Amino acid sequence: MDTEPKTGTRSRELFEQARQYLPGGVSRNTIFRQPHPLYAESAEGYCVTDVDGVQRIDFANNMASLIHGHAHPAIIAAVSDQLQRGTAYTMATEAELDFARLLCERVPHFDKLRFVNSGTEAVMACIKAARCFTGRAKLAKVEGTYHGTYDYAEISQKPKPEEWGDAQQPASVPVARGTPQGALDDVIVIPFNQPKLAREILDTQADQIACILLDPMPHRVGLIPASNDFVEMLRQWCDTNGALLILDEVITFRSGYAGAGEWFTAKPDLTAMGKIIGGGFPVGAFAGRNDVMNLLDPQQGDIPFPHSGTFSANPITMTAGRVAMERFDQEAVDQINDLGRYARGAITETIRQAGIEACVTGEGSMFRIHLKPQPPVDYRSAYMHPVEQQRINRLVSFLFDNGFLMINTCTAALSTVMNREQIDQLATQLGNGFRQLEKD
């Protein structure tokens, strides 16, 4: 594989042009890097090639959305066939039915399902459905969790120490300037994996909470799985107080055949999905109980929750998603999760050999490297202060310059086309990166 450093001349030229038309030269901040982002030319399997001809092993997989890597032949063939028959209609399609059937039969707690176009939209629809069902306005969410860009869902997504408030009563902190005070007031923030304290906070506004929104393994909390006790408490609290439990599986649906929901004895009322279920195309979906999902049924005279979307359930995404998920069967899930365990073990050994204060967290087919001696337990312990953030940035840049594409927190999401060879290569280069950090 060609990983010889190049000057990035073509990417620099493209970026200078992009700055004239796009704020900061990009449409998503996550791909920006100093002094400029690199531009992709093509990708296949587990490799991406940039416009200057440099190949990298892709451990980011478009922010965990490509479960089978790039340009999977079966997906390309199915989508190419559909392209010739049209990309979107003001009509229903059999492709939508086939994919909805597959997902509902795959996950026991999915009675019905609706497709949308992003994970953000799926979470937003879940919240709106919960408000419609309960007649309440407020929602509760875990401190430091990312649920997309909906005003309410993004509250306290990345609070700083000087603004996050007392640990016994976390503050509602805006992400974007101009967030309405009403949105802040309608979001109750609870700590992660602390059932007793979370219950006490929830009890203070029990009659006003429509739903609890939970990511079962939040990235910004450190890629630490929720405990069964924590989820069980939330489930019982919702049942007692007439609220709905929403599981945000936009990222974690890759973790089990039926998603990370398999990890817990308690099941959600609604689940939001995205990323891998699109087969490489923009997608979102939300699914759950019949009595909640039927609020969207247009056969009713007065529809409680009117819902639509011009490109929702378009046949290109439905086809790609169905093919991707058919190939992500139980055997594929087991294999990629075994590879995730192997990766975390190999990296742990690399950390030991390097003698650096670091650790690796994660579950299933994902992992995250922390430059901390012990794994974090919540958002506050996972928070990267400036020195650690700078060191992580240097490590991610070192890997990038040496042939590996990671998510910018030094997080990886594996694909089914990977094997132990790519893991071993990453572990070796991580060792070099750790040693370089110690020299700096």
Tokens of 336: 């990629």
Cα–Cα distance between 247 and 360 in angstroms, integer? 24
* Complete domains list, the chain, with CATH: 9-67+329-439 (3.90.1150.10), 73-327 (3.40.640.10)
The answer to whether residue 1 scores a pLDDT higher than 70 is: no
Q: What is the pLDDT of residue 129?
A: 98
Cα–Cα distance between 361 and 305 in angstroms, integer? 39
**pLDDT-based confidence at 33, cuts 50/70/90?**
confident
Cα–Cα distance between 350 and 430 in angstroms, integer? 7
Q: How many CB atoms lie within 10 A of CB 427?
A: 20
Report the mean per-residue pLDDT for the chain: 96
**pLDDT-based confidence at 6, cuts 50/70/90?**
very low
Question: Mapping DSSP to helix (H, G, I), strand (E, B) and coil, where does residue 92 land?
Answer: coil
State pLDDT tens for residues 340-350.
999 999 999 99
Burial 239-269 (b: 16+ CB within 10 A, else e): eebebbbbbbbbbbbbbbebbbbebbebbbb
Taking residues 254-279, what's their average pLDDT? 98
Taking residues 55-84, what's their average pLDDT? 98
Are the CB atoms for 40 and 8 separated by under 8 Å?
no
Burial 362-391 (b: 16+ CB within 10 A, else e): bbbbbbbbbbbeebbebbbebbbeeeeeeb
